[in-house]
Structure 1
Amino acid sequence: MGIEQRLRAPANDAPKIAPAPVPSLASILGDQAPRRKRILGRVWQWLLLAVAIVAGSLLLWSYYGQGSVYTYTTQKVTRGDLTVVVTATGSVQPVAQVDVSSEISGIIRKVNVDYNSEVHRGQVLAELDTDKLQATVASSQAKLVAANANVAKAKATLNAAKATYDRQLVLFERSVMSAQSLEDTRLTMDAADAALKAVEADVLVAEADLRTAETNLTKAQIISPIDGVVLTRNVDEGSTVAASLQAPVLFSIAGDLKQMEVQVDVDEADIGSVAIGQTATFTVDAYRDRSFPAVITDIRFISETINNVVTYKALLKVDNTALLLRPGMTATADIVVETVKSALLVPNAAMRYSPPTESSSSGGFLGMFRPPRMGAVTTAEVPGGARTVWVMRDKIPTEKAVVVGATDGQNTQLISGDLREGDELVVDAVAAQ
């Protein structure tokens, strides 16, 4: 009893401390939930904002980012004069060229000229052997003399017959001569008159034969019909010439080489714009760095077809005072068919340009959000005869419709459209590496 009391006494004497209450899990979670919701809400807001910014940037880049995807080649809209030309090829030829042949057959005795010889009208180019021709002339002269003698004889016979008839007529009137005798005398006189007419006709024939022989003798000299230059000589001394319907050409003579012409073949597609009086320039292979002026003087109506290509011949007059041009030279002529002064000029390459297209399989995930792109234009034409070009606006190609006119093959006249001098037009696009 005593021991037990001693052992409990300290416990009874110590101060009593109340135990701290233990919070429940529900109370703990209930106090932290609003704060966690606020933090998570802000995190999601920032995350969604970042995603929106990134997605928007990607969309903008994918739609407007062609400046970084492609490198553009441009040419400027310029102002200047536009000259429209039609190009045709042909050859340089003399204005007048004559082929000289022989009208009679014979052997060439002498040739008086050679290639490039200057000749004058009436000059003897060559001579035929004249022995036979002179003999023919002599024979014709003799026949003419004989015919004249026969005429004289016939006249004498006729005069005698007339005298006899006159005497017998007087006797008949005196009843001394019979009518039959007078009639016989008259018939004799008529026969003498007919014989005279026959021999007079023989004289005419002999005179004609003599003139023919003399003409042939003069034709033994081959004469130049024009002033000019000998281009070809196809005969030598001793050559035999046979006259026929297709007599061989002995000489070709060109007229004044100081005046030449260019004969060009104009394509049927261009002939409608070519007219007499239009100016032109042409070049020849002999003088590649020099052009010669010319004027159209004639356009032939007859067509020529070569390799299924229909052309029309146009003649261009050329001043060849310096004698630089030679017959037969190949010429390439540029005929001026239209000139436009101080026009806005669009490069033809800009009208041929078409924007590149995206592959249908490209785009991936972004392709789902990318706005639809405009399809590629396969031609620069749009309805109404207008054209489309792409002009750089703020470094972005922008499509513009224009109406154009004349073209020289490199530039085209701008008739209307929202373009200004100095605008940069896209002519090519290359994907950036």
Structure 2
Amino acid sequence: MRRGIVVGVAAVAAVGIGAGVVLGLQPGKKEPVQFETAAVKRGRLAAWVTATGTVSPRVTVQVGSQVSGRILEMLADFNSRVTKGQLIARIDPQLFATEVAQARANLVSAQAGVKGAEAQLADSKRQFERSSSLAERKLVAQAEADSALAAMQSAEANLASNKAKLEQARAALERAQTNLAYTKIVSPIDGVVISRDVDVGQTVAASLQAPTLFTIAEDLRKMEVHTSVAESDVGRLAPEMKVEFTVDAFPGERFGGVVKEVRYSPTTVQNVVTYDAVVSVENPELKLRPGMTADVSFLIEEQADVLMVPNAALRFRPPEEFLAQARAQLERGGAGAASAGDAPAERRTERAAGGGGKRPLWRLGPDGKPQAVRVDLGISDGRNTAVSGPGLKEGDLMIVGTLSGDEPAPAARPMQRGRFL
């Protein structure tokens, strides 16, 4: 997972930092100290949170088989466009057709059994009525009438049993017909086949779970990027936030999108917690493909017309001799200077988007020597940071580093190098 705060100075006023080198005699030494400088620029600055992600379709359906058997025919392949209900594969139906025929025969047998039970019940009722009439007239024993009643009740139970068997036979036939229909694999959605996992002649077994035959993406013109955002950055994200990203397949092109949702469920890998931020992306030209790795930048904050310096100016610390001079200047009440005894810049963390705080920077004075200036820090894009403070103006030369020199040179003589940081 890659993350951080990167980039985004707008092109219209980018911090193209024209660097220069200024020579100043280091106290107590013959050879001069060469200061590399960069001018304070004014322009547009944007702060980003970065993460890595994977491109995927918005809707992906795995098409499986609900019956076991041998693949008889494949009617779709990779990249095939399919419609809902379209036949895309067939499993050998012979065994299932036989089961349907057997179930149909069992149904006919059950129907005959019901008819036989109905006839038996009708005969039992007649016998019971005759025996009851004779018993009332004392022409037969009461036991004979009771026996006829029991026979009639048994016939009623037999009819109910045969009717239940008939329903079972009907259900078995429906099941056999359904299994036969399952031998025809159809697409559940309109989309594109992005994966085919079986071949003709291969046997699939659906005893435990449905084996996957195809994977179909609903619409590749509408994609998503699932990103892993660090827990330290996830609080800055919000739905509808603008997003830019790149993929290796098109290194010179930036794609856009918006944050769809930031999911609450965390992912923990080796004690590193990340959250899934889902980015909605339009893909009209079908350049983006499922599975592509994306380097994603979330636009956290953007400011126009701000003063900015390269981050190298925040890390610069002059030699001890100049620090002593800066302290002496402070003791004499030098205007606009900050405490030279502040913690070294290299020990401080550069502020990210929505940063803030104060920091002493080093400006090249008229005498060619460093002057400490306290500034307020704003947002940063990882290369440049917004700054403000009393006396700070566009064009001021901020010291970003030193270069060693071998020949003496007059102090404060600028040497333009035409380089951009």
- Give yes or no for TM over 0.5: yes
- Contact 1:386 / 1:404 at 8 angstroms: preserved in 2? yes
One-letter amino acid of the counterpart of residue 358, structure 2: A
Query: How far apart, CA to CA, are the structure 2 residues paired with 1:264 and 1:406?
Result: 23
Shift of 1:96: 1.2
Determine which of 361, 378, 384 is the counterpart of 1:405: 378
Deviations 1:86-116 (A, max 9, x none): 1111221111111222111111111111111
Structure 1 Cα separation of the partners of residues 34 and 319 of structure 2: 12
Query: Equivalences for 1:94-113 in 2 at 5 Å?
Result: 94-113=57-76
Give the conservation status (yes or no) of the 8 Å contact 2:26–2:32: no
- How much does 1:166 deviate? 1.9
Once the two structures are TM-superposed, the CA of residue 217 in structure 1 deviates from its matched residue by 0.1
What is residue 122 of structure 2 aligned with on the other side? Answer: 159
| CA spacing shift, 1:183–1:422, aligned 2, 3 Å | same
SS at the partner of 1:304? strand
State the distance in 1 between where 2:358 and 2:29 align: 26
In the alignment, structure 1 residue 379 sits paired with structure 2 residue 338: no
C-alpha separation in 2, matches of 1:178 and 1:415: 121
Query: How far has the Cα of 1:307 moved from its partner?
Result: 5.1
Closer/same/farther in 2, CA of residues 342 and 375 from structure 1, 3 Å limit: closer
CA–CA distance in structure 1, aligned partners of residues 395 and 132 of structure 2: 122
For the residues of structure 2 that align with 1:336 and 1:62, how far apart are their CA atoms? Answer: 44
Q: 2:282 is matched with which residue: 300, 307, 319? A: 319
1:143 matched residue in structure 2: 106
SS of residue matched to 2:108: helix
Shift of 1:66: 9.2
**Cα offset for 1:281?**
0.8
How large is the Cα RMSD of the aligned pairs?
2.6
1:85 equivalent in alignment to 2:57: no
* Preserved contact between residue 69 and residue 205 of structure 2 (Cα < 8 Å): yes
* Contact kept in structure 2, 1:380 and 1:387, CA below 8 Å: no
Q: 1:191 to 1:426 in 2, by over 3 A?
A: same
Paired with 1:62 and 1:254, the residues of 2 have a C-alpha distance of 68
In 2: Cα distance, 1:257 partner to 1:191 partner: 67
Structure 2 alignment gaps of length 5 or more: 1-24, 323-330, 332-339, 349-355, 407-421
Other-structure match for 1:49: none
Match of 2:165 in 1: 202
- Flag the structure with more relative contact order, 1 or 2, with Cα contacts below 8 A and sequence separation at least 6: 2
Spell out, residue by residue over 1:271-326, the C-alpha distance to the aligned partner (whole angstroms, 9 max, x if none). Answer: 11112211111111111111111111122222223455332221111111111111
Corresponding residue for 2:296?
333
1:68 positional shift: 7.7
Partner residue of 2:250? 287
Q: Which residue of structure 2 lines up, in the alignment, with residue 232 of structure 1?
A: 195
- SS in structure 2 of the partner of residue 98 of structure 1: strand
Aligned match of 1:122 = 85
1:393 aligns with 2:357: no
Name the counterpart of 2:394: 421
Q: Which residue is equivalent to 2:320? A: 357
Pick the structure with more strand per residue.
Answer: 2
Q: CA deviation at 1:261?
A: 0.9
Retained in 2: the 8 A contact 1:77–1:346?
Answer: yes
| CA deviation string 1:163-196 (max 9, x = no partner) | 2212222333334343222211111100000000
Three-state SS of the structure 2 residue aligned to 1:250 is: strand
CA distance in 2, matches of 1:216, 1:272: 51
Partner amino acid for 1:407?
Answer: S
The gaps in structure 1 that reach 5 residues or longer are: 1-60, 360-370
> For the residues of structure 2 that align with 1:402 and 1:409, how far apart are their CA atoms?
18
CA contact (8 A) 2:26 2:33 kept: no
Conservation of the 8 A alpha-carbon contact between 1:165 and 1:185: yes
Match of 1:71 in 2: 34
Contact 2:45/2:306, CA 8 A, preserved across alignment = yes
The residue number in structure 1 matching 2:218 is 255
Moved more, 138-147 or 274-283: 274-283
Contact 2:316 2:400 in 1 (8 A): yes
Rounded Cα–Cα distance in structure 1 between residues aligned with 2:255 and 2:181 = 44
How far apart, in 1, do the equivalents of 2:211 and 2:76 lie? 17
How is 1:5-20 mapped onto 2 (pairs within 5 angstroms)? none
1:257-276 alignment, distance < 5 Å: 257-276=220-239
Q: Which moved more, 1:71-80 or 1:101-110?
A: 71-80
Moved more, 191-200 or 323-332: 323-332
CA displacement 1:45-96 (0-9 Å, x = unmatched): xxxxxxxxxxxxxxxx875x99982221111222222211011112211111
Whole-angstrom distance in 2 between the partners of 1:330 and 1:62: 51
* Structure 2 SS opposite 1:409: coil
CA contact (8 A) 1:354 1:377 kept: no
Change (3 A) 1:418 1:134: same
Shift of 1:344: 2.0
The offset of 1:380, in angstroms, is 6.3
TM-score, normalised on structure 2?
Answer: 0.80
Q: Is the 8 A contact 1:403 1:417 kept in 2?
A: no
Counterpart position of 2:6: none
Under a length normalisation based on structure 1, what TM-score does the superposition of the two structures give?
0.78
**Bigger Rg over Cα:** 1
Residues 66 and 191 of structure 1: is their aligned pair in 2 closer, same or farther, counting only changes over 3 Å?
farther
